[in-house]
A and B are shown apart, each in its own frame.
Chain A
Amino acid sequence: MNASLLMTLPELVLAAGAIALMLVSAWGGQGSTRLVSWASVAVLIGAGLALLGPASKGGAAFEGLYRADAFAAYAKVLIYVASAVAILIAPRFFAQGRGDDLRPEYPVLILLSAAGMGMMVSAGDLLTLYVGLELQSLAAYVLASFMRRDTRSAEAGLKYFVLGALASGILLYGISLVYGFSGTTLFSSIATAYGAGHSLGLTFGLVFVFAGLAFKMSAVPFHMWTPDVYEGAPTPVTTFFASAPKVAAVALAVRVAIEAMGPATDQWRQIVIFASLASIIFGAVAAIGQTNVKRLLAYSSINNVGFLLVGLAAGTQEGVASVLFYLTVYVVMTLGSFVVVLQMKDAEGEPVETLASLAGLSRARPGLALAMAIFMFSLAGIPPLLGFNAKLAVFTAAVNAGLYPLAVVGFVASVIGAYYYLRVIKVMYFDEPAEAYSGRATPVESAVIAVSAVFVSPVGWLLLAPLGVATMFAAKALF
């Protein structure tokens, strides 16, 4: 029991920290926001440090309900970093007008969500999976509608809640089918059931589980909530949604696919390939007409999920490693580009989100424009930026697994994606300047932008070799 508790130490730290800070904010009120924010970041760092112990190599805890392995640890590092950034960039956004100041609940909710995501990526059992998913989602619903007086934010929260509940329902239905036909909820035992032979009930269960997970990953055809929620939610919250929960959902899908349903690879591969190509193509085509930067980035995230699924479709250790590598680069690019979006404010300090307002940014704020251009070229997968290496990794895995048509179609479709990323650069560099943005980035925001831009630039090549080793090691945990 003690060993099991030690393995779940990161979640324990997060949960205890969240509860303690909730109490602080209950008594401290509005004035404690700053303290709670910094304390939350400290808690996240503490949880990260806790990963150094048995939490990253302990194996199965609580009779297999929870897995403490390198794969989970890798995903958790990404989740904690993204969560910390989401907390750090929030104060200035909420401080600007509308009377909706940042309240201390915000960092606490993110901590709870992070604890839920930790459970998701460590799940060794369908019920652990579900509990983690719900904890993450419930906190996220509240975060989406965090600006109480803003109708768009309220709408985003409601939409997210209704569709999220539907997705949970579908997932639960799938879980019940899998349980009904295999007699267990443990991943390892489910894998045995799938390996034992073909069963229609199990196949149905698989389909529903993947449909539910696709909702959480926002893969086509279960993506429709994404643009509305990303647009309506406050920008720091959108930053969070596009990074940490995405990592958790994709890592969870990978674990379910490999650990629980590994013997049924041929069955889920069809679903994954379809969702992958549909996401790549739809995400790219739908983004072309967008005029709102946040909506555009929402479609870009759908597009990127498609590429992530290319790596999963390979179903090999190399494929899983490529997914983790892609997630790493994706999280950095996403954090960077959303923090750039945070800088978009008109003369009154109100946030603006139109693509047209970026016009001529290269002359008003050359550094900011250069960073955004790096992120956009990287998202489009143009070398020498790291976004290219990420795409190369997933497609290498797919080609090595013999999935040539997937690779060819995926690559060709990425040209469509390049078009709308180029449009952002065109607006920033080629168009006549629009009204300049007011205000300056805070040191934290500048640091996030600068570090992310350097990470995806050719300087990041130096990290390729260590990241390759780390992702391969993490992926090995699943095989």
Chain B
Amino acid sequence: MTGFPILSVMLAIPALAAVACLFVSAQGARWIALIATLIDFVLGIGLWASFDIGGPQWQFVENAGSLGVFSWKLGLDGFALLLVMLSVFLMPICIGASWVAIEKRVQEYMAAFLITEVLMIGTFAAQDLFLFYIFFEAGLIPMYLIIGIWGGANRIYASYKFFLYTLLGSLLMLVAMLWMVNFAGTSDIPTLLNTDFPVQVQTWLWLAFFASFAVKMPMWPFHTWLPDAHVQAPTAGSVILAGVLLKLGGYGFLRFSLPMFPEASAQLTWLILALSAVAVIYTSLVALVQSDMKKLIAYSSVAHMAIVTIGLFAFNRQGIEGAMIVMLSHGLVSAALFLCVGVIYDRLHTREISRYGGLAINMPRYALLFLFFTMASIGLPGTSGFVGEFLSLAGTYRVSTTATLLCTTGIILGAAYMLYLYRRVVFGEIVHDDVRAMKDISLREMALLAPIAAVALWMGVYPESFLAPMRSDVATLEARIARATPKGDSLPTPGKAPATPAAHAEARP
């Protein structure tokens, strides 16, 4: 590494742009926000290009010294790199999606989004426990304002629910963090990752972290804030919520719960598997009966996130890699689906499914893109959704066949609600005159959706690009949790040993 503090620069650019936005005209704020997010995207590409696969675990490390109890210490491993990439990729798209949809208080809106970007990158890059918490928790402020100011009719209720729910969970985690720092004598995350906490305390610490991440994730039954927040948030707010903020929970399990408390994770795997299985089936069924498009996609997010949690707690390579790919894929696909909803919402100002129908007739290009993302959400082979779900479920199978069986029904149910949604919105005859008058997607909207479609396809066809950066990190994590790995109930047929990690690695180019 050259010693250039690229991560700090990536944090500073949107932060400065946010301040600048407050002092210019509405159009100026739009351009500042777009340029700042594009610069961050370019820097992100630079990160990915110069990330040394197979090199040291932590790269781009910078340490600007202590600020009282915590220090400004940043760095990325493969997991964090991919999630930072997801954030910087989606941000310019969010700004573009808000280009005309947001008319009032544009300057504040753009500033809130830029601050959100700072906090997201900071959360993934923080290498100090308290710095992580600060970024993690501060994200509530801009999201609260985005939902509350620019949201729909019931925005006040949704913003309170979002804020207080997530705050409560996070504070319990903070108590656990205080204990850990007291025990280990440092708040440095790489050190804590290799600290063995006493087994009997681990359960409590694990539960405290669970309280926070389960709400963020969100896992059933802590998910009720999500549909409200999604429905009320503006389109770009939903995109960023589904695309990146939901990943914070999964990232938290991956970064903290598993490597720091392996024994507790093993003990409580049953809890995760049970909640995830319920979540997949329950929320999929709920999604089937929704009449609001955004609510339907919100519930489908809960189901997808459950696939992430089972994958993580499979304690093996496929599961963890699958969970990461599902996170990335869901970040792209659900973001795109919210954008698709936003496209027609901007024209008709309703999210009621029954108000649409027959869009394939007058909006063919839109229908095509929407179809692609619907298929990606279902997990059709060739799209990113398939790779993630398959790996994740394959990994889980080695731990619990029952949970895998239950969660796999989610794929079937997912196909049911997504195709049902698609049929009602896009197929059939046009019954409403105002729908007939709707124009097909503009160049701007195409420019937002096409890149996501390209990346989702890339991830589906050649996932190696995305698996490679995290391969050694998965190995590190696997080695760390190996001592606690629960015994699986899947019994390999005699004569056919389960795939060994070595054989698995050979299978890839």
Contacts and interface: CB of A to CB of B under 8 A. Distances in A.
A356 to B, nearest CB: 15
A408 B156 contact: no
B351 to A, nearest CB: 21
A464 interface: yes
B178 interface: yes
A464 B69 contact: yes
Contacts of B178: 392, 395-396, 399-400, 407
State the majority secondary structure of interface residues on B: helix
Given A407-B175, A411-B175, A464 B138 contact: no
Interface in B136-151: 137-138, 140-141, 144-145, 148-149
State the majority secondary structure of interface residues on A: helix
Contacts of A399: 175, 178-179, 182
Contacts of B141: 377, 382
A190 B167 CA distance: 44
B168 interface: yes
B311 to A, nearest CB: 30
Interface stretch (B80-88, B158-166, B356-364, B380-388): B158-166
Contact of A468 (B69, B144, B155, B163): B69
Given A377-B141, A408-B175, A415-B171, A426 B148 contact: yes
Contacts of A408: 172, 175
A426 B156 contact: yes
A473 interface: no
Given A383-B134, A426-B156, A411 B68 contact: no
Interface string A174-208: 00000000000000000000000000000000000
Given A399-B178, A464-B69, A465-B66, A429 B148 contact: yes
Nearest to B208: A408
B137 A382 contact: yes
A404 B130 CA distance: 19
B191 to A, nearest CB: 18
A60 B149 CA distance: 57
A430 B149 contact: yes
Interface residues of B, number: 35
A342 to B, nearest CB: 24
Nearest to A463: B68
A383 B69 CA distance: 14
A38 interface: no
Contact of B160 (A388, A412, A414, A419): A419
B100 interface: no
Interface in A390-415: 392-393, 395-396, 399-400, 404, 407-408, 411-412, 414-415
Given A408-B175, A430-B155, A383 B133 contact: yes
B193 interface: no
B174 interface: yes
Interface string B107-132: 01000000000000000000000100
Contact of B67 (A414, A422, A462): A462
Interface string B15-44: 000000010000000000000000000000
A418 B182 contact: no
B167 A400 contact: no
A468 B66 CA distance: 11
B109 to A, nearest CB: 12
Which of A383, A393, A415, A425 is packed against the most chain B CB atoms within 10 Å? A383
A384 interface: yes
A389 interface: yes
Given A382-B141, A392-B130, A430-B155, A411 B174 contact: yes
A467 interface: yes
Nearest to A418: B167
B62 to A, nearest CB: 16
B476 to A, nearest CB: 29
A415 B167 contact: yes
B138 A422 contact: no
A418 B67 CA distance: 26
Contact of A382 (B130, B138, B179): B138
A161 interface: no
Contacts of B66: 465
A225 interface: no
Contacts of A383: 133-135, 137-138
Given A426-B159, A464-B69, A415 B138 contact: no
Nearest to B181: A396
Contacts of B174: 392, 395, 411
Nearest to A469: B68
Given A407-B175, A422-B144, A464 B159 contact: no
A415 B149 contact: no
B175 A395 contact: yes
Nearest to A370: B22
Contacts of B163: 418, 422
A461 interface: yes
A412 B68 contact: no
Interface string A418-460: 1100100110011000000000000000000000000000000
Contacts of B167: 382, 415, 418
Contacts of B181: 396
Contacts of B171: 411-412, 414-415
Given A395-B175, A415-B171, A468 B138 contact: no
Contacts of B108: 362, 366
Interface in A290-347: none
Contact of B172 (A411, A429, A462): A411
A209 to B, nearest CB: 31
Contact of A430 (B133, B134, B156, B168): B156
Nearest to B155: A430
A429 to B, nearest CB: 6
A412 B172 contact: yes
Nearest to A399: B178
A64 to B, nearest CB: 34
Nearest to A411: B171
Given A383-B133, A422-B144, A426-B148, A389 B175 contact: no
A294 to B, nearest CB: 24
Contacts of B68: 389, 461, 464-465, 467-468
Interface string B170-205: 011011001101100000000000000000000000
A414 B105 CA distance: 31
Nearest to A430: B148
A411 B178 CA distance: 12
Contact of B168 (A377, A415, A468): A415
Given A429-B145, A461-B67, A418 B137 contact: no
Contacts of B140: 382
A464 B108 CA distance: 29
Which of B105, B108, B134, B135 is packed against the most chain A CB atoms within 10 Å? B134
Nearest to A429: B149
Contact of A384 (B69, B134, B145, B182): B134
B81 to A, nearest CB: 23
Given A388-B134, A430-B155, A396 B160 contact: no
A465 B67 contact: yes
Contacts of B138: 382-384
B164 A415 contact: yes
Interface in B457-509: none
Nearest to B107: A366
A87 B108 CA distance: 35
Nearest to B182: A400
6 cross-chain pairs, A with B, having the tightest CB-CB distances, nearest first: A464-B68, A383-B134, A411-B171, A399-B178, A468-B68, A430-B148
24 contacts: A362-B108, A377-B141, A382-B140, A382-B167, A389-B69, A392-B174, A396-B181, A396-B182, A399-B175, A399-B178, A411-B174, A412-B168, A412-B171, A415-B171, A419-B164, A422-B160, A422-B164, A426-B148, A426-B156, A426-B160, A429-B148, A429-B149, A464-B67, A467-B68
Given A400-B182, A411-B171, A422-B144, 5 more contacts: A382-B137, A392-B174, A396-B178, A425-B144, A429-B145
